[in-house]
A and B are shown apart, each in its own frame.
Chain A
Amino acid sequence: MNAVKHDETPSAGEALLVEPSALSPGRRALTTVLRSRELSIFLVLVAVVVVATAKNSGFLFSSDGWRNFLLNPSILVLLAVGQAVVIITRNVDLSVGSVLAFTAYLTGRLFIDQPGIPLVVVVLLAVLAGAVLGLVNGVLVAYGKVPALVITLGTLYIYRGVVLTWAGSDRINRGDTPADFQALGTKTVLTIPVLTIVALVVLALVGYYLHTARGGRELYAIGSDPDAAVLYGLKVRQRVLAAFVLSGALAGLAGVLFAARYGAVTSSTGSGIELQAVAAVVIGGVAIFGGSGTVWGAAIGAFLLVTINRALPTIGIDPFWQGAVVGALILGAIVLDRVLAARQANKLAEARDA
């Protein structure tokens, strides 16, 4: 950045300071978008789709291909949005896979045990159950002063244990749930699957809240420096608690959608999906130590993860490599973060010297 020329000679005091940005608002917005992590990860997604579609046009340009492209990532998008909110506060929620399993099984049981129960009630109960499980995480993290990694690793096993005890070797089958519920999993509106619409609406609401509400900005502040947040007088505990409740509620919603989409639910449903959610968030540019990143990035990250897994066989890469490709993406994202952070720090320091 060039120092703005002043008419008068700047005093030594002024010379130490950063000159105000001279960019016009339009150009500033453009630069922000061009430099954003969301754009670069989106371009990677586009590249993957273009390459796979060039190999096999049905990858995108067939009714199945288009539907799968939108539908498959939807559940992961919900989890990634909740996970992003938690990670922005410098925490992590590893229990979401178990919460998803719990509410997916709960959904099936409600339909079996309460014939004729309205769909809306089932969705609400599942979301509520997820929120309560999230509340348990939140209370333990906010008041227990134990790192979230440890707490949610514990609840991951506890919640899974509850599902195992409850379900045993029992499973929910496609025929156990009403037809209109199953249709929800595959229904489309203007070629866009309902599940995708639900995920995008949630994404938009949470994204809007994080950007424009005081509470949303405080989540970033808490993740950026938790000690400073206390000194600021921010309600750190309530906010962290709320982040975990949201993550749990979204995992609960994801459980219902899982049951609708796949029909079959067992006690091992959703094992390991929590790590995919964390991976999506990190790939999407949310700093693992909190304070920066967006849910938009996390959602694009979820799309990229799922799409790559579907694209690899099309491109002709052995599915054995799928895990390695995801790993390379995560490492690449972190290396990129470090490089960008170092460059920004240098730039800011230079701006100070100028």
Chain B
Amino acid sequence: MSSDPTQPRLVLRDVAKAFGPVLALRSGNLTVHGGSIHALVGENGAGKSTLVKIVAGVHRRDAGEMLLDGEPADFATTAESKAAGVAVIYQEPTLFPDLSVTENIFMGRQPLASGRRIDRAAMYAEARSLFDRLGVAIDVRRPALGLSIADQQIIEIAKAISLDARVLIMDEPTAALSGVEVERLFAVARSLRDEGRALVFISHRFDEVFDLCDTVTVMRDGEYVGTRTVAETDTDEIVGLMVGREVGELFPKTPATIGAPVLEVEGLNRTGVFHDVSFEVRAGEIVGLAGLVGAGRSEIARAVFGVDRYDSGSVRLAGTAVPAHDPRAAIKAGMAFIPEDRRKQGLVIDSSVSRNVAGVIRAGLAKAGVLTARAENRAAAPWAGRLEVKTNALDMNAATMSGGNQQKVVIAKWLATDPKLLIIDEPTRGIDVGTKAEVHRLLSELAGRGMAILMISSELPEVLGMADRVLVVCEGRITAELDRAEATPEAVMHAATHSVEAAR
């Protein structure tokens, strides 16, 4: 590829970008070499995504310098950055659900036969060889619809390889992956690095950063803080650079008095999804639902809350039966549910913060059927204040906020209903260290006030640190119930993979 191995593939110098009055990026600096995996870390709102989008040609920088293989570069469109050999894999993969996996890889540059007609046979063959090279088995003709996020990312990577990208940027690719899927992704990333490509890897998981990357660049509040080689640094230093202060206890669950059972689930079944699920959650207790991605944890939670149906079994809240498949009844009975995919399920993205917060209690706020912005703001203010949501005003659009602040808005939205039970799915997915601790402190405080909390999490330290009791789900069944004292990483992982191994 490049003749001079010391020449950096990609250099960004003092890059700045503002959206209206909001300065998203003050001075972004990044130097990435070929044959290297470079981690980019920073709290939410540190400007990482903005930086990536400037490199990708989604946004245009206001100031600063960008060099690609020593040549000045300025991309006005994503097509230009692609042509220059830059591929970006976004946090949420962007595929065309109706089109085949193969068309998704080659869209816009399909191999052509005579008469400028798409050569489908060649296209399928090339897709097949790409997947072979990546060591994955995906039907090249199937539509992208229904693929797991892990598989969608593999498609994105296949796309990047077929473009022969010199620079590959991955924006939090592992946020939604299970352990095995992460390993597969890393193996692919390492082989791309060994081919001499430059990789940029954005992640909030330090174990991954230290496992995969060789260099780390830290950003804070839209500014470059520093670059370290992985061999010469450690987690404490990186965290220190990120937050500008030492982080104390990461998972501060304080003991709370455990009261009477709030949620009682008995014999819940749904064919092909989960089987014979029984458990209870008591007042003041945080119960962790652990397991691999795809084990059926979220599905159980959705069924309990009534979003999805179940075939048999019963759900009782504070002794009263909750009707199946009726979220309104569940809310009325005192349940709150914060889903995993907050962009799609929990937040009205194109709406103001106060409207989001007030959304679920609207009926109670309206006077004579009329809901004023003032009433919404009045109801939202105390909650947003308590959660320290960093928005200039409650009128700000939720779509423009960082992931951590969005999560806080969603939590505020449900706390306004004053629930007895809070079900929260992946509470800190894609959230930075500082905000993570805030979310954990908040959950702990809620439990202390007698709320029962059912928390689904793929992050083992989070489950072990927060939960009073851990239920491990494996292939739709609860395979273990562990007390805080018994819950060791080994015990949980064993139960989470147990039936997989038994089936072998």
Interface residues of chain A, those whose CB is within 8 Å of chain B, are 9, 11-14, 16-21, 28, 212-214, 217-218, 220-221, 223-225, 227-235, 287, 291-292, 344-345, 348-353
Contact = CB atoms under 8 A, between A and B. Distances in A.
Contacts of A353: 272, 294
Contacts of B95: 225, 228
B interface SS class: loop
B117 A18 contact: no
A130 to B, nearest CB: 26
A295 to B, nearest CB: 16
Given A214-B110, A214-B118, A18 B99 contact: no
A303 B183 CA distance: 54
Contacts of B103: 217, 221
Nearest to A225: B96
Among B107, B110, B136, B181, chain A packs the most CB atoms within 10 A around the CB of B107
A224 B98 contact: yes
Contact of A17 (B112, B118, B138): B138
B139 interface: yes
Given A11-B180, A287-B98, 19 more contacts: A12-B497, A12-B500, A13-B181, A13-B184, A14-B137, A21-B141, A21-B142, A212-B118, A213-B118, A218-B107, A224-B99, A225-B94, A225-B95, A231-B78, A233-B82, A234-B108, A292-B98, A348-B142, A351-B146
Given A12-B180, A233-B79, A17 B151 contact: yes
B369 to A, nearest CB: 28
Contacts of A228: 94-96
Contacts of A21: 139, 141-142
Contacts of B367: none
A352 B368 CA distance: 50
A218 B142 CA distance: 18
B116 interface: yes
A212 B111 CA distance: 11
B77 interface: yes
Nearest to B88: A231
A214 B108 CA distance: 6
Contacts of B344: none
A227 B107 contact: no
A249 to B, nearest CB: 21
11 contacts: A12-B500, A20-B140, A224-B99, A228-B94, A230-B78, A231-B58, A231-B94, A233-B78, A345-B145, A349-B146, A352-B146
B82 A350 contact: no
B504 interface: yes
Interface string B277-288: 000000000000
A218 B77 CA distance: 17
Interface of B: 56-58, 77-82, 90, 94-99, 103, 107-110, 112, 116-118, 136-143, 145-148, 150-151, 180-181, 183-184, 272, 294, 497, 500, 504
Nearest to A10: B137
Contacts of A16: 148, 150-151, 180-181, 294
Nearest to A216: B118
A34 to B, nearest CB: 16
Contact of B94 (A17, A227, A235, A349): A227
Contacts of A352: 146-148, 151
B139 A291 contact: no
A291 B108 CA distance: 15
Nearest to A292: B98
Contacts of B96: 220-221, 224-225, 228-229, 291
Contact of A13 (B112, B142, B183): B183
Contacts of A213: 116-118
Given A21-B141, A231-B94, A220 B150 contact: no
Nearest to A1: B139
Contacts of B294: 16, 353
Contact of A225 (B97, B109, B151, B497): B97
Contacts of B148: 16, 352
A234 B139 CA distance: 25
Nearest to B136: A17
A33 to B, nearest CB: 15
Contacts of A348: 142-143, 145-147
B479 to A, nearest CB: 16
B138 A13 contact: no
B99 A291 contact: yes
A28 B142 CA distance: 12
